[in-house]
């Protein structure tokens, strides 16, 4: 596995690979890699000749009060995990080279960036789409793999790719979960033992929704009430949102119709740790 930190070196290397008519895949991460990331890397490897995994804790997607400074980092372990999963190039750029002095350019996917997560993290997606576009340009990738855990992020990035005509295919990979259902996340490390236990209600509430829909319930409000009831049964939790929306537009759905493809998503603070999770269902 080659490690590159210079943008210019990454760009030249990718250009040389593309000229050999090989496929370049990119897996953008913020590091502190877990089995979810390994799964993304493996999927990239199945779809590309050369897999670039990037590690960059992107300051522009954190608000001042958020956890940028304390976001977990372990670069040595990341090297092992990414190499084991099949990374060919580990790209670890320096923040000063990514955001040069007088940096001023931002990409915004309007509407989609201001709902759900965007309501609670107003500049988050602007930071995400901007860094992702930069990584696409730096790695000149043909494919990019993102996790479904950040479902809204994946939808936004697909919209950006379509709108800005990036010549690149997005693959969205399934969520990898702990044995009790908790979606893997670098932020799970923040949870105390009791919070970790309480956090299983996120996935359980999604399972309740799935079961209710399978049993014929088609009013969002009835389903969301049940989900909220379960989550609130754990006093360490505080709900930011529980949403049932169309995958295509992220518009909230009140009554389901046959053929609807739904994103059921939620954000819940467990203690001081903010967790998100979701499932996608076709009615």
To 5 degrees, how large is the angle CA 97–CA 185–CA 228?
A: 130
d(CA 202, CA 206): 7
Contact pick of 55, 57, 155, 160 for a copy of itself (by CB under 8 A): 160
Answer yes or no whether residue 134 interacts with a copy of itself by CB under 8 A: yes
Going by their DSSP bridges, the two strands 50-55 and 89-91 should be labelled as parallel
* Catalytic residue check, 37: yes
To 5 degrees, how large is the angle CA 79–CA 82–CA 87?
A: 115
Stretch that binds a copy of itself, among 11-19, 213-221, 230-238, 270-278 (CB under 8 A): 11-19
Which residues 228-267 are close enough to bind a copy of itself by CB under 8 A? 249
Stretch that binds a copy of itself, among 44-52, 57-65, 104-112, 262-270 (CB under 8 A): 104-112
d(CA 129, CA 140): 16
Q: Which of 129, 122, 121 is nearest to 105 (CA)?
A: 129
Answer yes or no whether residue 111 interacts with a copy of itself by CB under 8 A: yes
Contact status, residue 255 vs residue 157, Cβ threshold 8 Å: no
Which residues 205-224 are close enough to bind a copy of itself by CB under 8 A? none
Q: How many positions of this chain bind a copy of itself (CB under 8 A)?
A: 34
- When the beta carbons of 74 and 108 are compared against a copy of itself, the nearer one is 108
d(CA 160, CA 138): 16
Q: Which of 58, 63, 160, 170 is nearest to 109 (CA)?
A: 160
Shortest Å distance, C-beta 243 to a copy of itself: 19
> Phi and psi at residue 265, in whole multiples of 5°?
-135, 155
String marking each residue 12-41 x if it binds a copy of itself according to CB under 8 A: ---x--xx-x--------------------
Contact pick of 38, 54, 82, 130 for a copy of itself (by CB under 8 A): 130
Contact pick of 63, 164, 189, 283 for a copy of itself (by CB under 8 A): 164
Element (H, E) at 110: none
Contact pick of 73, 103, 194, 211 for a copy of itself (by CB under 8 A): 103
- When the beta carbons of 135 and 242 are compared against a copy of itself, the nearer one is 135
Contact status, residue 242 vs residue 262, Cβ threshold 8 Å: no
Contact status, residue 69 vs residue 95, Cβ threshold 8 Å: no
Instruction: Point out which residues bind a copy of itself (CB under 8 A).
Output: 7, 11, 15, 18-19, 21, 100, 102-112, 129-130, 133-134, 137-138, 140, 159-160, 162-167, 249
Catalytic residue list: 37
């Amino acid at each position: 596995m080659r490690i590159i930190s210079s943008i210019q070196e990454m760009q030249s290397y990718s250009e040389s690979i593309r000229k050999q008519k090989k496929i370049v895949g990119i897996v953008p991460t913020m590091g502190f890699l877990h089995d979810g990331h390994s799964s993304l890397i493996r999927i990239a490897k199945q779809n590309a000749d050369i897999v670039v995994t990037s590690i960059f804790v992107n300051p522009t997607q954190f608000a001042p009060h958020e956890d940028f400074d304390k976001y977990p980092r372990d670069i040595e372990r990341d090297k092992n995990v990414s190499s084991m999963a099949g990374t060919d190039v580990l790209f670890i750029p320096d923040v000063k080279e990514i955001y040069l002095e007088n940096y001023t350019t931002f990409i915004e996917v309007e509407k989609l960036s201001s709902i759900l997560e965007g309501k609670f993290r107003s500049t988050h997606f602007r930071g995400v789409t901007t860094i992702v576009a930069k990584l696409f340009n730096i790695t000149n990738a043909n494919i990019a793999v993102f996790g479904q855990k950040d479902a809204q992020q994946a939808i936004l990035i697909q919209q950006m790719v379509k709108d800005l005509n990036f010549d690149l295919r997005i693959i969205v990979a399934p969520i990898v979960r702990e044995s009790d259902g908790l979606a893997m996340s670098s932020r799970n490390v923040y949870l105390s033992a009791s919070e970790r236990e309480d956090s299983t209600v996120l996935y359980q509430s999604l399972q309740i929704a799935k079961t209710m829909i399978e049993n014929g319930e088609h009013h969002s409000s009835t389903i969301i009430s049940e989900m909220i009831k379960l989550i609130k049964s754990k006093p360490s939790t505080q709900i930011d949102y529980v949403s049932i929306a169309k995958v295509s537009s992220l518009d909230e759905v009140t009554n389901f119709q046959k053929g609807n493809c739904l994103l059921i998503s939620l954000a819940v603070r467990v203690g001081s740790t903010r967790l998100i999770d979701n499932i996608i269902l076709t009615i």
